[in-house]
């Protein structure tokens, strides 16, 4: 009998060794927009809700995030708890009429307070019944669990499956949903393949530029306030359907969260794709895209500055923004048509052609040509632009001939 037990133990030891080898993974710095959005929201101390199908890697991602940030991870499965586990259990003392009835917090909350920092992971949020979701409101917004207040060093991240794929799932209540930054967690083939090979993306907190903090706050407040001043209907828009109410939608609370995220993204120099995920995950796709478009217009260079020094002007790299900047310059010349301004605009178009796609100058050049006044000589810059404009027009005509031919062929 003893020999059999010894043999079984040895075999289990070997199995444990194999499991230990399988568990050895490493990380590497690698661009990952959704991971960058998550870490930026965590740095901004905003509650984040990861939406994704079962098995997509939400829990594993949070575990790796906690390890990378050096935060102890506390996982609470919301669906298996009672409301009192978040609101606190009443404890009657010797004289409740004088001392009141305190609400005793659960062990996990006491542990977080004792640690002073940590990552609270509320898993399976979409399977929590409405009563539990209601109890979670103070936890998520006010960081209170019973009589305890969670320390400032505690960050909150939750995960949920869409109702269609959740076990006995519920729609998220509107008050609870409006307290989160919603990020849709999806798998990317190269990330999964490389991760299964033992190397996952490394989660790191964003590096905030200390010199840009005040600028970042000013920029964020201006961006949100200018949009809402022009679009009053976006200040608060409760979705009509229960399903959409369980996601991201605009309210004064979520706009306040957006100001914080824009400020953090600006101070960190975050890519536009990351900012887009965060903004749309806070106020919804429609209002989020409107804010991003408004911010693009804010970032356009002043046309008067461009006209002052056209030969050294810095134009946006993105094609749509460059086109908008050139159109603004032509509009400025139309508003105050003067010979030196007209010449400067032509010089700017030459610089745009030399530093970017030539086809972007075609429309502004044609419009600028119509603004010529009697007695204004044709600037030399027009000759330099002529070949590019002509080539672009010929390309457009060729493309139109191809489309006409294809349409005729399809009709036969």
Question: Of 248, 219, 252, which Cα lies nearest the Cα of 235?
Answer: 252
Q: Of the given ranges (50-64, 197-211, 324-338, 350-364), which has the lowest mean pLDDT? A: 50-64
Task: Please tell me the distance from the alpha carbon of residue 267 to that of residue 286, in angstroms, as a whole number.
Answer: 25
Beta pairing class for 117-123 and 73-77: parallel
Fold of 29-90+102-201: Rossmann fold (3.40.50)
Q: CA-based angle 398:403:409, to the nearest 5?
A: 125
Query: What is the per-residue pLDDT across 254-295, written as a single tens digit (0 to 9) for each?
Result: 999 999 999 999 999 999 999 999 999 999 999 999 999 889
The strand ranges marked E within 63-152 are: 73-77, 89-90, 103-104, 117-123, 144-145, 148-149
The contacts found for 55-64 with CB under 8 angstroms, 24 or more apart, are 56/185, 56/186, 56/187, 57/185, 57/187, 57/192, 58/159, 58/185, 59/121, 59/123, 59/159, 61/35, 61/185, 62/119, 62/121, 62/157, 62/159, 64/27, 64/200, 64/203
Backbone angles phi, psi at 404, to 5 degrees: -65, -40
CB 201 within 8 A of CB 191: yes
Q: Of the given ranges (30-34, 97-101, 212-216, 268-272), which has the lowest mean pLDDT? A: 97-101
Chain-centroid distance of CA 316 in Å reads 22
The tokens describing 386, both together, are 């002529």
The tokens describing 344, both together, are 């400067």
Q: Which residues contact 346 (CB under 8 A, 6 or more apart)?
A: 368, 379, 381, 382, 385
- pLDDT reading at 358 higher than 70: yes
Q: In which residue are the tokens 């002052």 written? A: 308
Report the pLDDT value the prediction gives residue 10, as an integer from 0 to 100.
Answer: 80
Sequence ranges of the domains in the chain: 29-90+102-201, 210-298, 303-411
Report the pLDDT value the prediction gives residue 395, as an integer from 0 to 100.
Answer: 42
Report the pLDDT value the prediction gives residue 112, as an integer from 0 to 100.
Answer: 92
What pTM, to 2 d.p., does this model score? Answer: 0.76
The neighbour count for residue 221, using CB atoms within 10 Å, is: 13
Report the pLDDT value the prediction gives residue 388, as an integer from 0 to 100.
Answer: 54
Task: Please tell me the distance from the alpha carbon of residue 324 to that of residue 25, in angstroms, as a whole number.
Answer: 47
Max avg pLDDT among 273-282, 324-333, 386-395, 398-407 = 273-282
Average pLDDT over residues 162-166: 65
Q: Which residues pair with 120 in a beta bridge?
A: 74, 156
Task: Please tell me the distance from the alpha carbon of residue 121 to that of residue 75, in angstroms, as a whole number.
Answer: 5
Burial class (CB within 10 angstroms; exposed 0-12, middle 13-18, buried 19+) of 109: buried
Report the pLDDT value the prediction gives residue 412, as an integer from 0 to 100.
Answer: 56
Confidence of residue 107 (pLDDT cuts 50, 70, 90): confident
């Amino acid at each position: 009998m003893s020999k059999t037990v010894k043999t079984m133990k040895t075999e289990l030891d070997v199995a444990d060794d194999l499991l230990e080898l399988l568990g050895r993974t490493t990380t590497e710095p690698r661009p990952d927009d959704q991971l960058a959005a998550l870490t930026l929201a965590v740095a901004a101390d905003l509650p984040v809700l990861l939406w994704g199908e079962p098995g997509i890697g939400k829990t594993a991602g949070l575990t790796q995030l906690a390890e990378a940030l050096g935060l102890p991870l506390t996982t609470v499965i919301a669906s298996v708890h009672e409301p009192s586990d978040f609101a606190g259990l009443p404890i009657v003392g010797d004289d409740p009429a004088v001392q009141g009835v305190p609400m005793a917090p659960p062990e996990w909350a006491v542990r977080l307070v004792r640690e002073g920092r940590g990552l609270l992971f509320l898993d399976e949020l979409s399977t929590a019944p409405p009563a539990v979701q209601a109890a979670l409101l103070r936890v998520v917004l006010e960081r209170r669990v019973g009589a305890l207040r969670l320390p400032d060093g505690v960050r909150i991240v939750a995960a949920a499956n869409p109702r269609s794929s959740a076990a006995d799932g519920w729609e998220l209540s509107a008050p609870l949903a409006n307290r989160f930054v919603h990020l849709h967690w999806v798998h990317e083939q190269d990330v999964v393949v490389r991760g299964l090979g033992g190397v996952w993306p490394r989660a790191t907190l964003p590096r905030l530029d200390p010199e840009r903090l005040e600028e970042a706050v000013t920029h964020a407040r201006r961006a949100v306030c200018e949009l809402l001043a022009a679009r009053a209907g976006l200040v608060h828009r409760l979705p009509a359907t229960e399903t959409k109410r369980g996601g991201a939608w605009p309210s004064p609370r979520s706009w306040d969260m957006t100001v914080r995220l824009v400020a953090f993204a600006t101070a960190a120099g975050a890519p536009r794709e990351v900012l887009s995920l965060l903004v749309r995950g806070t106020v919804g796709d429609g209002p989020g895209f409107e804010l991003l478009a408004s911010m693009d217009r804010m970032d356009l260079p002043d046309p008067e500055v461009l006209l002052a020094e056209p030969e050294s002007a810095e134009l946006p790299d993105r094609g749509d923004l460059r086109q908008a900047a050139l159109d603004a310059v032509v509009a400025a010349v139309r508003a105050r048509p003067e010979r030196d301004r007209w010449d400067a605009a032509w010089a700017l178009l030459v610089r745009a052609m030399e530093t970017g796609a030539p086809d972007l100058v075609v429309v502004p050049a044609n419009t600028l040509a119509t603004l010529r006044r009697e007695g204004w000589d044709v600037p030399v810059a027009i000759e330099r632009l002529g070949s590019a404009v002509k080539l672009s027009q010929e390309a457009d005509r060729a493309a139109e001939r191809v489309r006409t031919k294809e349409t005729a062929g399809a009709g036969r």
